[in-house]
Each structure stands twice: as C-alpha cells, then as structure tokens.
Amino acid sequence: MRIDIMTLFPDSVDAMMQTSIIGRGQQRGHILIKSHQIRDYTTNKQMQVDDYPYGGGRGAVMQADPLYRCWAHIKEEAGMEKSRTIFMSPCGRTFDQTVARELKDSYDHLILICGHYEGIDQRFIDECVDEELSMGDFVLTGGEIPAMAVADAICRMVPGVLPDAECFMEESHWDGLLEHPQYSRPEQWHGRSVPEVLLSGHHGNVAAWRKKESYKRTMIRRPDLFAKFDETTLTTKAERKILQQAKEEVAQENKT
C-alpha cells in the first residue's frame, strides 16, 4: 500500500507518519507514505498557492494549477493502476472503519489532498478528485490531521504492519461493535479489582466475557451502532446466549 499526501506542511505529516507502528511498517517495506510540499509545484517566485475567491468573500482559495502539478507528478511517479484520489473535506462522506476496509481492499495507492484556507478550486476537484472524505460534522484548519487519520486507519490493516490480523479484528468497529474493557497489572488499583474471569486462565470464559461486555458497551454507549447489528450473524446457540445475557444485564442495570 502506497499513500501520497499533498500538503503545505510535510514536516508535520512526516513527524507522525514516520514514527511508532506506522513508521516501523514503512521501515519493513509493508507500506509507503510520502508527503509532498504543494508549494514546490508553483511557477512564481513567491511560491504562492492561493488567491482571492471569485465572487468576493473572506479568506483565500487554493489554486488549481499547483495542486494539479503536484498531483500529476505523484501519478507519474507512482505509476499504479489501482489508485484513488481523495480530498479531505467536511463536504465528503463520513470516514469510518467500513470505509477504511473498503479503501484498503480496493486500492493499492491513495492520494490524499489536504486543503487550507477556504478550500480548493472546484475545477481541480472536478478534474482530478475521485471522492471527498470527512472526519465528521466539524471543520478543522487544514486537512493534515484527517489525512493522517485515514492513512493510519488503513495502513494498520495492511499485512505485516501489526503482528497479526487479530490485533485489529478484535477492536472497536471491526464487526460493528465497541471493544470490551481492557485491564493490566496490578490486580488491585485504588480499590478497584480486575474482573475475576480475566484471572481464571479459562480461555473460553474469557472470550465469552469479552464478547458480552462488547455487546453491553455498544448497547449503552452507542445504541445507534447496536441498532445496526445483525443478530442473524450469530450462528451458534452459545453466541445467541451471550447476546441474551448482555441484554438482560443492561436491562437490569437500567432499572437500578
């Protein structure tokens, strides 16, 4: 998986994308994340990338030509067929785990464009952008944080970046549920104890407890997510029993 990020602040992007798990994934050759300074593709001495908006109004708009030159260079350099260009924008569809999996499975190459000021020239979007993605119903000062979030969410699922698929398949949102609570040493902390089942060494009971707590947490914290959960995917009696126990416990807690 290769991801190119078009930005006015490549140093900020590199500082994050070249460290920790994602950085090690790049060092091992499983992924490649490159940042590109859009100003390098200007044709004026001032390296100007923005100008006043037609029609008036406050702020400035990023110009189409520097963006296009940068984009064209990336396309030529990468030379990858399964490529998709994405503009990080509050006007796009909301990015979530399902979208992350879709992009990881469908493309080998992503170009992420970070806008600034009042946005970017619509003509560049019309000509070069395949889709727009949003982090949610809010606005940031630039697209770098959303672009890094998208890159991180996708790249951590690329084989070899994490030790195995279980590392991300058991996390929140993978199967439409929130992840169960986690605990570490010591067993007692500030008068609070680790649940006994996690100390039992019984892998079956631990797995059942974690699944039940995942159901409960989703029901309580994100009823909108749980409403989308397809119970018909539970094919065994044991799985259906765990779900029923979770529902009963949540109902009891609501009464108290």
CATH for 113: 3.40.1280.10
Is 164 among the domain residues?
Answer: no
Contacts 24+ apart (CB under 8 A), 210-215: 210/180, 211/180, 211/239, 211/242, 212/242, 212/243, 212/245, 212/246, 212/249, 213/180, 213/181, 213/246, 214/177, 214/178, 214/179, 214/180, 215/177, 215/242, 215/243, 215/246, 215/247
Q: Which tens digit of pLDDT belongs to each residue from 131-182?
A: 999 999 999 999 999 999 999 999 999 999 997 765 555 555 567 899 999 9
Mean pLDDT value across residues 59-85:
97
- Domain of 250, CATH number, reads 1.10.1270.20
HSE at residue 182, side-chain half, CA atoms within 13 A, is 6
Is 162 among the domain residues?
Answer: no
Residue 88: pLDDT band with limits 50, 70, 90: very high
Instruction: Give the domain extent around 235.
Output: 170-255
With 0-12 / 13-18 / 19 or more C-beta atoms within 10 angstroms meaning exposed / middle / buried, residue 132 is middle
**Given this model, what pLDDT does residue 256 score?**
76
Of 98, 127, 155, the position where a domain reaches its end is 155
Of 155, 185, 217, the position where a domain reaches its end is 155
Is 165 among the domain residues?
Answer: no
Is 236 among the domain residues?
Answer: yes
Is 160 among the domain residues?
Answer: no
Q: Which tens digit of pLDDT belongs to each residue from 198-212?
A: 999 999 999 999 999
Q: Are residues 138 and 175 in the same domain?
A: no
What's the total number of domains in the chain? 2
d(CA 168, CA 170): 5
Residue 229: pLDDT band with limits 50, 70, 90: very high
Q: Are residues 149 and 234 in the same domain?
A: no
Q: Are residues 250 and 221 in the same domain?
A: yes
For residue 232, the 8-state DSSP code is G
Is 161 among the domain residues?
Answer: no
Is 163 among the domain residues?
Answer: no
Question: pTM of the full predicted structure?
Answer: 0.87
**Given this model, what pLDDT does residue 169 score?**
52
d(CA 50, CA 65): 10
Q: Are residues 201 and 125 in the same domain?
A: no
Tell me what the pLDDT averaged over the chain comes to. Answer: 94
**Given this model, what pLDDT does residue 175 score?**
79
d(CA 93, CA 89): 9
